[in-house]
């Protein structure tokens, strides 16, 4: 069987897209394969991924390109600029071809809200280095991205503790 770098998408309205992506990163890191993670929404608040990332040294490149939840933003122009800068960083890392896996976490929001040009993103992904794996996460993945992808997983919300009044918890949601 042939092997090739895959374009993967984790989408849907259920919890677990980023968590699954981090699990894939952890798997690659366990094989000492270099990983780059660029998070587009998470913002500046402290969450467990950032602390864990420090433990992998040069094997894991971790960037926070977003400024928080864009649907709550008071400065959309700044959010658009952050998304464009994050995309430029992603483009450069994709072109460099030095990573085994690049994760663009919550990147579908940048596409959905028109913060980056979808056609440009698709063109870059079509011409990524052959061996590079790219994983994009976030709700509402555009149909063209789903069509281009080699693997698409949709997370479906069946039950969530927030509906029962249970707040997000350290070590589970962040």
Extents of the domains making up the chain: 7-164
Q: What is the pLDDT of residue 52?
A: 82
| Rounded average pLDDT over 27-55 | 84
| Rounded average pLDDT over 17-37 | 96
CA distance 63 to 66: 9
| Rounded average pLDDT over 19-36 | 96
Q: What is the pLDDT of residue 123?
A: 98
Task: Say if CB 98 and CB 65 are below 8 A apart.
Answer: no
Residue entry with tokens 């894991």: 60
CA distance 53 to 160: 27
Query: Domain 7-164 class?
Result: alpha beta
Instruction: Name the maximum alpha-carbon separation found in the chain.
Output: 51
pLDDT band at 70 (very low <50, low <70, confident <90, very high): low
- Hey, which bits of 17-71 come out as E strands? 35-39, 60-64
pTM here is 0.92
């Amino acid at each position: 069987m042939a092997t090739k770098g895959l374009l993967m998408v984790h989408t849907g309205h259920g919890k677990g897209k980023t968590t699954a992506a981090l699990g894939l990163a952890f798997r690659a890191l366990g094989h000492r394969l270099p990983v780059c993670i660029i998070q587009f929404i998470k913002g500046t608040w402290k969450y467990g991924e950032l602390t864990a990332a420090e433990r992998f040294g040069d094997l894991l490149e971790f960037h926070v390109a977003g400024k928080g939840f864009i649907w709550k933003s008071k400065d959309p122009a700044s959010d658009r600029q952050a998304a464009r800068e994050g995309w430029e960083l992603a483009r450069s890392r994709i072109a460099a071809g030095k990573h085994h896996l690049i994760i663009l976490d919550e990147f579908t929001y940048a596409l959905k809200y028109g913060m980056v040009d979808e056609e440009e993103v698709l063109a870059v992904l079509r011409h990524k280095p052959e061996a590079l794996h790219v994983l994009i996460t976030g709700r509402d993945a555009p149909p063209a991205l789903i069509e281009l992808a080699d693997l698409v997983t949709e997370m479906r919300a069946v039950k969530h503790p927030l509906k029962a009044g249970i707040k997000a918890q350290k070590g589970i949601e962040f």
